Amino acid sequence: MQEAERAMQFGFETKNANAVVKACELRAKLSGLLIERVEVFSADLRGALLEASKRVIQSSPNSYSVLPIEPEPASEEGGVGAGATPKIPATD
């Protein structure tokens, strides 16, 4: 806490507003007045791509050349095709 106060004083002496604000922020964190919240979530990108592909195909099937993405079976790590790239069928 004393180091944060010294950093704030240094910011005032050098007329460095950024240093003052950061030192003030550090003091608030150390005092428990400011808490950073980190949210971690997983996104189902394959599912979102499949849904988007269905919407495009259903809305106007003749105006777009959209290749469907084939879903993969669930992997051992969990999730549908986790970490794999979509398989796009070949067009001959």
Residue 77 lies in a domain: no
Q: Cα–Cα distance between 92 and 80 in angstroms, integer?
A: 28
Residue 67 lies in a domain: no
pLDDT at 44: 85
| Count: domains in the chain | 1
Residue 41 lies in a domain: no
Domain, as residue range, for 18: 2-31
CB 57 within 8 A of CB 32: no
pLDDT in tens, the chain (92 residues): 899 999 999 999 999 999 999 999 999 999 999 888 888 888 888 888 888 888 776 665 555 555 566 666 655 655 555 555 556 666 65
Residue 20 lies in a domain: yes
Encoded amino acid at 34, one letter: L
Q: Cα–Cα distance between 50 and 41 in angstroms, integer?
A: 20
Residue 82 lies in a domain: no
pTM: 0.41
Residue 9 lies in a domain: yes
Q: Cα–Cα distance between 10 and 3 in angstroms, integer?
A: 10
| Burial (Cβ within 10 Å: 0-12, 13-18, ≥19) of residue 53 | middle
